[in-house]
Structure 1
């Protein structure tokens, strides 16, 4: 099943994209698949919650998985962190995320 996610890129342009829930993808990989951030500016650590290049702001109330300790620690050190910051690599695409709206954090 595909879900719909709205992603606002770093230029302020909102993209409504279809995301498969059966491929074990995460939000960072989805952004890369649709090329919504320049190559080399997102997912630099490969999705290990070690670089915060995939930080995004969650704009609506969709049930998300809890932050794990690695994500908490990385967000503690990252720039431009807000209350609604999450690491895209730690948000796996599931049917529960249908309608999710996020904005990519500024590149540091």
Structure 2
């Protein structure tokens, strides 16, 4: 089962196991990871599951699709490595993925 590590703004790290087929957001919510609000429940309609993907993972995770890119405009402190965690599917290739949560959501 792939492992995903979430790092908050204070530098606190939390690793969770995520079943293949879930999203990174689902893994965060179901494991009570702080910093992921996910107000829309994963419908790509709120930008409150915003994360920063560590650079070594950007190519593996891939670029946001147009709908996600549009929704990212509503995220706070947007960066080149910003993604909505509801749009990152858990698959074997992302085992070890590291993402950072922003200081605040939306």
Residue 47 (structure 2) pairs with residue 48 (structure 1): no
Q: How does 1:1-108 map to 2 (within 5 A)?
A: 2-21=1-20, 24-37=21-34, 42-62=37-57, 63-108=60-105
| Alignment root-mean-square deviation, CA | 1.7
Unaligned runs of 5+ in 1: none
Q: CA deviation at 1:70?
A: 1.1
Unaligned runs of 5+ in 2: none
Q: 1:4–1:26: structure 2 CA closer, same or farther, 3 Å change rule? A: same
Q: TM-score, normalised by structure 1?
A: 0.84
- Give the structure with the larger helix fraction: 2
Q: TM-score, normalised by structure 2?
A: 0.86
